[in-house]
Amino acid sequence: MPVDRLFADPELAALYDAMCRGRPDFAFYLPLVASADAVLDVGCGTGELLRLARAAGHSGRLCGLDPAPAMLDHARACTDVDWVVGDLRSADWDHDFSLVVMTGHAFQVLVTDDDVRVALAAIGHALADDGRFVFETRNPRAREWESWTAHPSSAFVAGDGTVVHRRVAVDAVRGDLVRFTQTYTSPRWAAPRASTSTLRFLDAASLRERLASAGLVVHAQFGDWDRTPLHDSSPEIITIAGRG
Ligand SMILES: C[S@@+](CC[C@H](N)C(=O)[O-])C[C@H]1O[C@@H](n2cnc3c(N)ncnc32)[C@H](O)[C@@H]1O
């Protein structure tokens, strides 16, 4: 499956951790990772979650899966995690993991019904009997893409100290699919670099249905990283599911 330029282009992949600095979700995910003996991070990107867990003393099995070699090049700074290039279509884990996570809204890259079905089946197969699958997806009811249009420009400091400017344009909203283009400008580049992505915004009922079809039961759903209950206009749908 081809990945967006944002993840495939080494110059853009190198910006990813700086772009995500101060993210609120790791305070939610890190304790879950710390208390699980074997963890699979699907769409791990630069692997920051597992790198932090290992640095904090996690001594069990940590495995990161991502189809973008340019992102995994950064993950590989940590040598005692298994970094695997690929996606769930090629996965053949056999109930190896007590925790599977998909963070950074990676679940939303699964844009077709078949992508979602295949991914959830593979996750069910990777999970131990009492294992948990924890992931989040932006709540479509909060219509976050409208705030991207209202506030299209931002800037952040890259790892080398240069200031990178980012501009977002929403190209199309069709049903639950949002296509948008991000354009990055750095003083180190002769020309801006642009990446077009499509994300799927599944609602909570639809997620529950798809999880159930894959034999996965929802244990809890939250609407934000402080574990507030999910309601109609929550920004996130954060789901903890298991095989039983
Ligand atoms: C927004 S990043 C999230 C990275 C990381 N999980 C985080 O929290 O920062 C989305 C990641 O999903 C990966 N990805 C794209 N298509 C994928 C697929 N079919 N299966 C798994 N991961 C995929 C991309 O390469 C990218 O690294």
182-220 residue pLDDT tens: 999 999 999 999 999 999 999 999 999 999 999 999 999
Task: Report pTM.
Answer: 0.98
What whole-number distance in Å separates Cα of residue 59 and Cα of residue 69?
Answer: 25
User: What average pLDDT does the segment 126-151 reach?
Assistant: 97
Question: Is the Cβ atom of 68 under 6 angstroms away from ligand 1?
Answer: yes
Taking the CB of residue 29, how many other CB atoms lie within 10 A of it?
24
Distance (Å) from CA 47 to ligand 1 centroid: 10
Question: Is the Cβ atom of 67 under 6 angstroms away from ligand 1?
Answer: yes
Question: Is the Cβ atom of 64 under 6 angstroms away from ligand 1?
Answer: no
Distance (Å) from CA 66 to ligand 1 centroid: 6
Model pLDDT, residue 1 = 67
Helix ranges (DSSP H) in 127-192: 144-150
pLDDT band at 2 (very low <50, low <70, confident <90, very high): confident
In 72-176 the beta strands, taken as DSSP E runs, fall at 82-85, 97-102, 127-138, 153-157, 163-174
Flag whether pLDDT at 127 surpasses 90: yes
Q: Give the position, in ligand 1's atom list, of the atom nearest the Cα of 16.
A: 9
What whole-number distance in Å separates Cα of residue 214 and Cα of residue 120?
Answer: 6
Mutate to test the pocket of ligand 1, among 44, 178, 238 (most ligand atoms within 8 A of CB): 44
pLDDT in tens, 67-123: 999 999 999 999 999 999 999 998 889 999 999 999 999 999 999 999 999 999 999
